């Protein structure tokens, strides 16, 4: 087999986008006229999607925020990639590995709304954002801005920069129910000084589900000469946006959350003009300093995971990002509106729906979050996660697109009973 035939064979076996992973053409036609907000409540549409997942039968799964399971069609393709790469082994690595990764990267860039030279595939948000944090040419006394609600791994990495280089970390507290976006922007603005070199902001805070006005924060920071790094772990493939429209300098996300890839897939976006000044974590003298590829010297890694990103994108696009965003917010609103105002029940999630998505957090006064999580699981077979940090003392509830209203009704009943 000559090289071209070989490439074609492997490309055909491993890649390629086909429609029909989720819906039949007739189903798609039937629902295409409905606006996303109307469709959000149409059980028949989402029940069809539900059949594409193999779900546990002995508990109600409301913790899809850590790692969201792959749909069966994506999982099957992933397993196919594992087999195909295993069969060809070194030959795969030495021939088509790079071509295939470049194709997947281009597809990911298109999904993110940027060009392929601004995106690399990483293992997760932690790797993406820590690459940026440690890549800044820090000097003692330089400052960074972040929030108490930010993710621990990134806060740890900034703390490390503090110990290693003498970086001063300024931490703000974001109000849960701001009067306006400007109130939040001002909180970040107040923390900026002439020594600020980087500002980190979460697109969607993982413990509260709060969606922050990232564009406005970026504009404010840029007006003061400060680059912005956005933690998009939960926003990417959940909210309808294009990364360049946020105006940020750096964006990191995990694809194993809302894109539904296999575990261990992420993206890092670096605005083209920000690449050169960033130090890579792993040296790569073969890449120009201006190429984002210099940040991606990963060594030998599970390339079949990279390949499955393409399948997950195909699956995601068949559903549609507008529909996903509308459905996830609708599900969250479905249960939060039923418990808001119930005595002893407290929500740690903004009341304005447009500041939220799938995630919400609920506590019961006088009940530690750990106890609440155990009670929900042991007494009601509802799996959640306890959050007890930064003034947030509840359990995080994260439905998925296929979560049913019956499951959320069970949650509402359990919470009401526990609070009574
Ligand atoms: C806001 C936020 N940032 C970063 C991360 C880290 O993601 P990963 O473990 O995939 O790197 C998470 C994980 O839940 C998160 O919620």
Which whole number is the average pLDDT over 218-241? 98
- What pLDDT, in 10s, does the model give residues 147-179? 999 999 999 999 999 999 999 999 999 999 999
236 lies in the same domain as 253: yes
Q: What is the DSSP string of 228-278?
A: EEEE-TTTTTTS---HHHHT-SEEEEEHHHHT-PPSS-EEEEE-GGGSTTP
Comparing 73 with 16, the larger pLDDT belongs to 73
Ligand 1 centroid from CA 116, angstroms: 23
Domain boundary residue, one of 314, 336, 366: 314
Q: Phi-psi region for residue 246, left (φ > 0), alpha (ψ -120 to 50) or beta? A: alpha
298 lies in the same domain as 337: no
On the question of pLDDT at 7 being above 50, the answer is no
pLDDT over 90 for what percent of the chain?
Answer: 92
Domain presence at residue 34: no
On the question of pLDDT at 385 being above 60, the answer is yes
Ligand 1 centroid from CA 48, angstroms: 29
Domain boundary residue, one of 245, 279, 314: 314
Ligand 1 centroid from CA 299, angstroms: 23
Per DSSP, the chain holds a count of helices (H) and strands (E) of 17, 13
Using CA atoms, how far apart are residues 269 and 363, in angstroms rounded to an integer?
Answer: 35
Comparing 5 with 314, the larger pLDDT belongs to 314
Domain presence at residue 397: yes
235 lies in the same domain as 334: no
Question: What confidence score (pLDDT) does residue 5 get?
Answer: 46
- Our answer on whether the CB atom of 259 is closer than 6 Å to any ligand 1 atom is no
Among protein residues, the one with the nearest Cα to ligand 1's atom 16 is 206
374 lies in the same domain as 302: no
Question: What confidence score (pLDDT) does residue 26 get?
Answer: 86
Q: What is the CATH number of the domain that holds 366?
A: 3.90.1150.10
**pLDDT confidence band for 8 (50 / 70 / 90):** very low
Considering Cα of 171, then 172, then 173, then 177, what sign does the dihedral take? negative
Q: How many CB atoms lie within 10 A of CB 242?
A: 10
- What pLDDT, in 10s, does the model give residues 60-98? 999 999 999 999 999 999 999 999 999 999 999 999 999
Interacting residues of 85 by C-beta distance below 8 A, sequence separation 6+: 14, 92, 303, 304, 307
Q: What is the CATH number of the domain that holds 189?
A: 3.40.640.10
Domain presence at residue 79: no
| Helical pair 152-165 and 125-135, crossing angle rounded to 10 deg | 20
Q: What is the DSSP string of 43-77?
A: HHHHHHHHTTS---SSSEE-BTTS-PPPPHHHHHH
Question: What confidence score (pLDDT) does residue 277 get?
Answer: 97
CB 236 within 8 A of CB 124: no
Domain presence at residue 373: yes
285 lies in the same domain as 381: no
Residue 347 backbone phi and psi in degrees, to 5: -100, 130
231 lies in the same domain as 357: no
Among protein residues, the one with the nearest Cα to ligand 1's atom 14 is 66
Question: What confidence score (pLDDT) does residue 29 get?
Answer: 86
Q: What is the DSSP letter of 224?
A: T
- What pLDDT, in 10s, does the model give residues 249-289? 999 999 999 999 999 999 999 999 999 999 999 999 999 99
Question: What confidence score (pLDDT) does residue 176 get?
Answer: 93
Using CA atoms, how far apart are residues 33 and 202, in angstroms rounded to an integer?
Answer: 34
| Per-chain mean pLDDT for the chain | 95
Question: What confidence score (pLDDT) does residue 6 get?
Answer: 47
Which whole number is the average pLDDT over 224-232? 98
339 lies in the same domain as 226: no
On the question of pLDDT at 10 being above 80, the answer is no
Ligand 1 centroid from CA 52, angstroms: 25
Q: What is the DSSP string of 132-187?
A: HHHHS---TT-EEEEETTS-HHHHHHHHHHHHHH-PEEEEE---SS-SSHHHHHHH
- Our answer on whether the CB atom of 361 is closer than 6 Å to any ligand 1 atom is no
What is the pTM assigned to this prediction? 0.95
- Our answer on whether the CB atom of 281 is closer than 6 Å to any ligand 1 atom is no
Which whole number is the average pLDDT over 6-35? 68
Helices (H), 340-420: 369-380, 405-419
Domain presence at residue 129: yes
Q: Which residues of 176-202 are buried (b: 16+ CB within 10 A; e: fewer)?
A: bebeeeeebbebbbebbeeebbbbbbb
CB 326 within 8 A of CB 120: no
| 168 strand-pairing partners | 143
**pLDDT confidence band for 3 (50 / 70 / 90):** low
228 lies in the same domain as 119: yes
Question: What confidence score (pLDDT) does residue 12 get?
Answer: 45
333 lies in the same domain as 307: no
Question: What confidence score (pLDDT) does residue 18 get?
Answer: 57
- The count of domains in the chain is 2
Comparing 237 with 6, the larger pLDDT belongs to 237
155 lies in the same domain as 287: yes
On the question of pLDDT at 9 being above 50, the answer is no
Domain presence at residue 209: yes
Ligand 1 atom index nearest CA of 126:
11
**Owning domain of residue 267:** 97-314
**pLDDT confidence band for 19 (50 / 70 / 90):** low
Domain boundary residue, one of 314, 346, 372: 314
Domain presence at residue 37: no
Out of 8-22, 101-115, 322-336, pick the least confident.
8-22
Question: What confidence score (pLDDT) does residue 92 get?
Answer: 97
């Amino acid at each position: 087999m000559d090289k071209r035939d070989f490439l074609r064979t492997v490309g055909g076996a491993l890649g390629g986008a086909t429609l029909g992973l989720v819906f039949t053409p007739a189903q798609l036609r039937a629902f295409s006229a409905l606006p996303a907000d109307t469709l959000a409540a149409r059980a028949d549409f989402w029940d069809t999607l539900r059949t594409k997942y193999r779900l546990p039968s002995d508990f109600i799964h409301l913790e899809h925020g850590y790692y969201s399971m792959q749909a069966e069609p994506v999982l099957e393709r992933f397993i196919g990639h594992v087999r195909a790469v295993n069969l060809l082994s070194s030959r795969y690595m030495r021939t088509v590995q790079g071509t295939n990764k470049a194709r997947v990267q281009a597809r990911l860039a298109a999904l993110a709304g940027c060009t392929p030279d601004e995106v690399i595939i990483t293992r997760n948000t932690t790797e993406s954002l820590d690459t940026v944090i440690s890549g800044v040419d820090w000097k003692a006394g330089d400052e960074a801005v972040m929030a108490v609600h930010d993710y621990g791994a990134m806060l740890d990495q900034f703390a490390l920069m503090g110990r290693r280089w003498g970086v001063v970390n300024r931490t703000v507290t974001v109000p849960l129910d701001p009067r306006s976006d400007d109130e939040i922007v001002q909180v970040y603005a107040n923390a900026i000084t002439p020594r600020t070199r980087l500002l980190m902001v979460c697109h969607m805070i993982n413990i509260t589900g709060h969606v922050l006005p990232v564009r406005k924060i970026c504009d404010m920071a840029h007006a003061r000469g400060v680059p912005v790094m956005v933690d998009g772990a939960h926003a990417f493939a959940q909210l309808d946006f294009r990364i360049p429209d946020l105006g940020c300098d750096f964006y990191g996300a995990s694809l194993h959350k809302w894109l539904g890839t296999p575990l261990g897939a992420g993206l890092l976006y670096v605005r083209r003009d920000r690449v050169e000044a960033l130090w890579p974590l792993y040296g790569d003298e073969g890449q120009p300093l201006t190429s984002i590829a210099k940040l991606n010297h990963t060594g030998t890694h599970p390339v079949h995971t990279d390949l499955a990103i393409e399948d997950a994108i195909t699956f995601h696009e068949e559903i549609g990002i507008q529909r996903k965003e509308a459905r996830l917010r609708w599900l969250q609103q479905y249960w939060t509106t039923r418990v808001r105002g119930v005595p002893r029940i407290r929500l740690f999630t903004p009341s304005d729906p447009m500041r939220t998505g799938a995630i919400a957090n609920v506590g019961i006064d006088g009940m530690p979050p750990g106890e609440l999580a155990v009670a929900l699981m042991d007494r009601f077979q509802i799996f959640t996660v306890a959050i007890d940090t930064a003034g947030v003392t509840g359990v995080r509830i994260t439905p998925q697109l296929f979560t049913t209203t019956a499951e959320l009704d069970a949650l509402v009943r359990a919470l009401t009973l526990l609070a009574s």
